[in-house]
Amino acid sequence: MCAPRIVQVAHERARPNRRAVLAAAGVAALAATAAPARAVPTATGVVDLTHTLHPGLPTWPGSPPFTSIPVSWHAISGFDQNALAYWEHSGTHVDAPVHRIPGGATVDALPVADLVAPLVVIDISAKAETDADAALTVDDIDRWEDEHGRVPDRALVTLYSGWERRLADPAAFLNLRDGVPHAPGIDPAAAEHLVAHRNVVGVGVDTLSLDTGRSRDYGAHTTILGAGRYGVEMLANLAAVPPSGATVVVGAPKHAGGTGGPCRVLALV
């Protein structure tokens, strides 16, 4: 273990600033690679749907990058340890209801039974390729059900837009125009359909927001979190799991009063 003063100094050094936010884009290429084209896998096993947290991973505009500072070393104390600094909604992460809804459930209060669920992947990558503001609609859900059957009860429904192909270029992933991000998300009417008529436990996306990036009323957030469900943002590798039939395990964090936090998400295929 390291002395409290060492941890304090490390956190002071790790405190993000504006320069760090602007510089983060420059290191993304060190850890990011383009995602594969959408394909249904034939092998079975466990698929990691989680991006690795690192300083170059894009965050919502204005949020600082993830930071890790060594505070203990084998050569000195016999143990390695890092001090971490990040905002709750960094990397692949959970949105708890309280993130949008005053008085909503905090991340530590999410029912554990809801964190293991049937996984649904709805592919809108074709329209997202030509329209950065593409949204998952009720029609998209209907087409998925025509092919795969009704969305299972208490499922986690996820949107696959293929957006992670842009991770090698953080500017393209954020896709800012006049300071406004443009990226696919969920239409509020589709969100309402999923919580009111399909009884989902939550909804996930492979982008930075449940809503389309340009949204300013955040209707999908309000509908999903307002119904007591959770969201998962910035999922990885959705191209590697089938549209239906898999089970997802959401390793949500458990800190008191949390509005969400980075999580490890696994698909059992």
What does the pLDDT look like over 68-86, one tens digit per residue?
999 999 999 999 999 999 9
Residue type, 126: A
Residue pair 114/230 in contact (Cβ under 8 Å)? The answer is: yes
Alpha helices in 131-250 (DSSP H): 138-148, 170-174, 188-197, 219-226
Residue type, 180: V
Class of domain 93-268: alpha beta
Task: Determine the pLDDT at residue 58.
Answer: 96
pLDDT for residue 240 is more than 80: yes
161 vs 149: CA distance, rounded Å: 21
pLDDT for residue 35 is more than 80: no
How large is the greatest C-alpha to C-alpha distance in the chain, in angstroms?
62
Number of H helices, E strands in the chain: 8, 15
Residue type, 60: W
Task: Determine the pLDDT at residue 177.
Answer: 95
Chain centre to alpha carbon of residue 77: 36
- Average of per-residue pLDDT across 3-26: 39
pLDDT grade for 36, boundaries at 50, 70 and 90: very low
- From the number of C-beta atoms within 10 Å of its C-beta (0-12, 13-18, 19+), residue 242 rates as middle
Residue pair 122/239 in contact (Cβ under 8 Å)? The answer is: no
pLDDT for residue 8 is more than 80: no
SS3 state of residue 150: coil
The pTM score is 0.84
Residue pair 89/95 in contact (Cβ under 8 Å)? The answer is: yes
SS3 state of residue 160: strand
% of the chain exceeding 90 in pLDDT: 83
pLDDT for residue 9 is more than 60: no
Angle between helix axes 138-148 and 188-197 (nearest 10 degrees) is 50
CB atoms within 10 A of CB 121: 28
135 vs 182: CA distance, rounded Å: 11
Phi, psi of 200 (to 5 degrees): -75, 155
pLDDT for residue 194 is more than 70: yes
Q: For the chain, which residues make up each domain, given as ranges?
A: 93-268
